[in-house]
Amino acid sequence: MKFLAFFGHLNIDVTLSVPSLPSPGQATGVKALREKFAGTAGNFAYVANALGLKFDLYSAVGEISHEKYLANLKKVGINTEHVDIMKEENGPICYLPSDGREQIAYMFQGPMNNWEASKHFEYGNYTFLNIGTGPVKEYMKILDREKKAKVVFDPGQEIWYTYNKESAEYMVNHSNMIIMNRKEFYHLLELLNTDSAAVYKTVNNIIITEGEKGATLIENGESTLMPGIKPDRIADTIGAGDSFRAGLFTALSNGYTLKDSVSIGNITASKAIENNINEFNLNFQDILKLFKTIKS
């Protein structure tokens, strides 16, 4: 049996640096344009691969837009066997105009809109199944059939606009673990029209990421804040949460408790944001040295 199936986006982030964000009907020039291989699944994959985690990546991309992205994943040793490549299509691509103070996001989903994720999943072959961003109805079909894996509900920002009360309830009732940030978790409670205590009774393990503060772990209703560590410098905080998940799952795959795995996830996130995520080059032993120093 394999350890982890990880579902999510492999999107290309296109950042446009502009003098100011124009009002409707106005136009502006672009000072600089930067393209980055990103997305929840992509960020996770780069860091998890460096840490030595064995996982299967599930996503959908357009053949036209993602040729270089796929080549880069393969170059660093990331298995793309379960990435569906749609011929003559583009996306997913996120366009991010920014004036340095404010930013707008335009997300083109492309193949993710029509991705039949449930058709090619290896049912009954994983210890963990991380349900990240992507097609909610397809993910529900997967959970209808999957009976062996421990399911991790990890919708990210898409909890705000792709889930309703029915789909959120379904995911919670079929999950063994939830990973969200604090705002996302509060929105989940609003969707469910319930309180945190009710969710704690349904899902034994909940991880709420708290940014630089670390992460709160709720095990069987008992809440513990696992503090973060301060990075030596900050290059880019985008992907910090995905890096946390990479550290978490790598630790779990090596037999660490969930509490220690959360701490290792915090350390991984703090080190990952010191450089670009897809340049992360620390291995698991590097992270463990920091973990043992902090724990002692």
**pLDDT digit string, tens, across residues 172-203:** 999 999 999 999 999 999 999 999 999 999 99
The torsion angles phi and psi of 61, rounded to 5 degrees, stand at -140, 160
Q: Is the pLDDT of residue 101 over 80?
A: yes
Average pLDDT for residues 109-121, to the nearest whole number?
96
DSSP line for 191-237: HHTS-HHHHHHH-SEEEEE-GGGEEEEEETTEEEEEE----S--S--
- What pLDDT does 280 receive? 94
> Which of the residues are catalytic?
242
- What pLDDT does 278 receive? 86
- What pLDDT does 133 receive? 97
- Give 55 or 295, the one with higher predicted confidence: 55
- What pLDDT does 9 receive? 98
- What pLDDT does 115 receive? 98
Average pLDDT for residues 241-261, to the nearest whole number?
98
Measured between alpha carbons, how far is residue 190 from residues 131, 199, 201 in Å? 20, 12, 17
Return mean pLDDT, the chain.
96
In angstroms, the CA 286 to CA 271 distance is: 10
Tally of residues, the chain: 296
- What pLDDT does 120 receive? 93
- The helix/strand/coil state of 50 is helix
The band of 111, judged by pLDDT with boundaries at 50, 70 and 90, is very high
Tokens read off for 82:
């379960």
Burial (CB count within 10 angstroms: exposed 0-12, middle 13-18, buried 19+), residue 105: exposed
- What pLDDT does 62 receive? 98
How much of the chain exceeds pLDDT 70, in percent?
Answer: 100
> Structural domains in the chain?
2-11+40-91+112-295 (3.40.1190.20)
Helices (runs of H) and strands (runs of E) counted in the chain = 9, 13
- What pLDDT does 104 receive? 87
- Give 104 or 180, the one with higher predicted confidence: 180
- What pLDDT does 260 receive? 98
- The helix/strand/coil state of 76 is coil
The band of 263, judged by pLDDT with boundaries at 50, 70 and 90, is very high
- What pLDDT does 238 receive? 84
| 120-174 confidence digits (pLDDT tens) | 999 999 999 999 999 999 999 999 999 999 999 999 999 999 999 999 999 999 9
